[in-house]
Amino acid sequence: MFSPQKRELIVGGLSSAVSVFCLLLAFSIESVFGSTFEMRMLPVFLSGTMVLISVMVILKAVNMPKELLVSQEEVQIMRAATGRMFGVVIVGLIYVWLFYALGYILATAISMYLVMIVLGNSNHYKIALTAILSAIIYQFIFMGFFGFYDPVGRLIDLSALSEFLS
User: Which positions lie near another protein, rule CB under 8 A?
Assistant: 11, 14-15, 18, 22, 25-26, 28-30, 32-33, 36-37, 39-40, 42-43, 46-47, 49-50, 53-54, 56-57, 60, 74, 77-78, 80-82, 84-89, 91-93, 95-96, 99-100, 108, 111-112, 115-116, 118-121, 130, 134, 138, 142, 146-149, 151
Q: How far is the CB of 124 from another protein (least distance, A)?
A: 14
For 4-64, what is the HEC assignment? HHHHHHHHHHHHHHHHHHHHHHHHCCCCCCCCCCCCCHHHHHHHHHHHHHHHHHHHHHHCC
Q: How far is the CB of 1 from another protein (least distance, A)?
A: 15
Helices and strands: H and E segment counts in the chain = 6, 0
Q: How far is the CB of 23 from another protein (least distance, A)?
A: 10
Count other C-beta atoms under 10 Å from residue 113's C-beta: 21
Kindly tell me which of 41 and 164 has the beta carbon lying closer to another protein: 41
Q: Which of 127, 41, 65 is nearest to 91 (CA)?
A: 127
Q: How far is the CB of 141 from another protein (least distance, A)?
A: 9
Q: How far apart are the first and last CA of the chain?
A: 53
- CA angle (82, 86, 89) in 5-degree steps: 160
Kindly tell me which of 40 and 68 has the beta carbon lying closer to another protein: 40
Kindly tell me which of 21 and 164 has the beta carbon lying closer to another protein: 21
